[in-house]
Structure 1
Amino acid sequence: MSRAALLVLADGRFPAGGHAHSGGAEPAVTAGRVRDAGDLADFCRGRLHTTGLTAAALAAAAALGHDPLALDEAADARTPSPALRATARKLGRQLMRAARSTWPSPALDALAAARPRGAHQPVVLGLTAASAGLTPEDAAYCAAYEAVGGPSTAVVRLLSLDPFEATAVLARLAPELDRVAERAAAAARQGIDALPAASAPLLDIAAETHATWPVRLFAS
């Protein structure tokens, strides 16, 4: 196992398409709910403990070897917003392309064949982590970090927020990210039915509204 692979997978420059998505930050900024670094911290904390926890558990479960098709269905059930389901599958398809080029494996090939229009991103992430020789905990960490790293980067662009302040937000969330990743990996070891289904209704509503905007900076 090479832990350095985790750095490659979690790097924002990994060509998986995440840079085009704000994780709900764009509608939150437009609605005035995120105006500064303090608001960003609150937004990221809420996202981490809801959608972030759910994604981290799905990723850990996939890395453990649970049936990826069953996990994809579980992800659908945990994503009530059609707009967010479409986004998750688009990101999964983009990650799959990058993953198969970087860490090819029969498991990735099989899921790509079964879900040609894309599986949910956390499921693909977990298989990618396993293909890279990483642990379920690593997969959970990567998913949890993506849940807050994407919005943080987006808000820097949307508000011209000082990037030092945005990075400080992520650094201060590190202990909570640890706990979320540990909780997600522990749940994944109990089976698919034990996976958390933490929800964030305001993110779902905002995603549906954002999808109707004729002009927007981010895809989601």
Structure 2
Amino acid sequence: MSVLAMLLADSRFPGGGHVHSGGLEEAAARGLLRAEADLPPFLTARLRTAGLLAAVFAAASAHAAGSPRGDGVWDVLDAELDARTPSAAARYASRVQGKAFARAVGVMVVPSVDGDCGSTLRAVLAATPRPHHAIVLGVAAGSVAGAARVAAYLAVSGPASAAVRLLGLDPLWVNGVVAGMVDEVEAVAGEAVRWAGCAPAELPAPSSPGLDLLAEEHERHHREEVRLFVS
């Protein structure tokens, strides 16, 4: 993985990921996650559904960014990802993070925002002023494989970090859980790479009804009381 991809995957990157729990906050509030033993199954399920979806579209966006005809596909990719995200709350959270991520990338003085990549990011924002996070990530990552790996990794690292803050779990143990998922993260990223060159309409749509329901309930509760995370 390139240094740029590692930077984008870093929890300290100011892309807004720290305010998203990936459904873990609502799951914890409902008592579905209470102890250490509850975390690995949640992370695995999220990686294989929402994580795969994000990795696929990040990889497809990276592929489009490197294609001579990529400029005309951004609104199509955005619409296809919308169609594969049934929860309005999840769509909103993805777009909030996508906008924050685009702003962070746009002001960084790194190779990803110079030359063609900078113009690609501007084309994305022109086509979709509030793009989905996976699409911006794909443009910024610089390679198809890097985009897929970062998206898959973020699908588990974000909720894992939230578990430390919400449940008071041992951060060393939690990071050990994430480290133990390396092979699964690589497998999801590898599957996403295989789909990268397909037409947007042909991309897979791994579903996660449970996460969709958690997203909707979290958004409703967020209006009623103070929550630590946006999603």
Smaller-chain TM-score bracket:
over 0.9
Q: 1:166 aligns with which of 171, 174, 178?
A: 174
Q: Deviations over 1:140-191 (max 9, x none)?
A: 0000011000000000000110001110110111100110000011012233
2:207 maps to which residue?
Answer: 199
Q: 1:122 aligns with which of 134, 148, 155?
A: 134
1:141 maps to which residue?
Answer: 149
**Aligned-residue CA RMSD (Å):** 1.2
Question: Does the 8 Å contact 2:74/2:128 carry over to 1?
Answer: no
Q: Any stretches of 5+ residues in structure 2 without a counterpart? A: 65-69
2:121 maps to which residue?
Answer: 108
TM (normalized to structure 2)?
Answer: 0.90
**Paired AA for residue 32 in structure 1:** G
In the alignment, the residues of structure 1 paired with residue 31 and residue 44 of structure 2 have an alpha-carbon distance, to the nearest angstrom, of 17
| Structure 1 residues 50-65: aligned runs within 5 Å | 50-65=49-64
**Paired AA for residue 85 in structure 2:** T
Shift of 1:99: 1.1
Shift of 1:29: 0.7
| Structure 1 residues 1-220: aligned runs within 5 Å | 3-65=2-64, 66=70, 67-102=73-108, 103-104=112-113, 105-116=118-129, 118-129=130-141, 134-213=142-221, 214-220=225-231
Question: Does the 8 Å contact 1:188/1:194 carry over to 2?
Answer: no
Question: Does the 8 Å contact 1:37/1:169 carry over to 2?
Answer: no
| Most deviating of 57-66 and 186-195 | 186-195
Shift of 1:113: 2.1
Shift of 1:100: 1.2
In the alignment, the residues of structure 2 paired with residue 191 and residue 4 of structure 1 have an alpha-carbon distance, to the nearest angstrom, of 29
TM (normalized to structure 1)?
Answer: 0.94
In the alignment, the residues of structure 1 paired with residue 220 and residue 131 of structure 2 have an alpha-carbon distance, to the nearest angstrom, of 23
Question: Does the 8 Å contact 2:22/2:158 carry over to 1?
Answer: yes
In the alignment, the residues of structure 1 paired with residue 200 and residue 36 of structure 2 have an alpha-carbon distance, to the nearest angstrom, of 36
Question: Does the 8 Å contact 1:12/1:18 carry over to 2?
Answer: yes
Q: Any stretches of 5+ residues in structure 1 without a counterpart? A: none
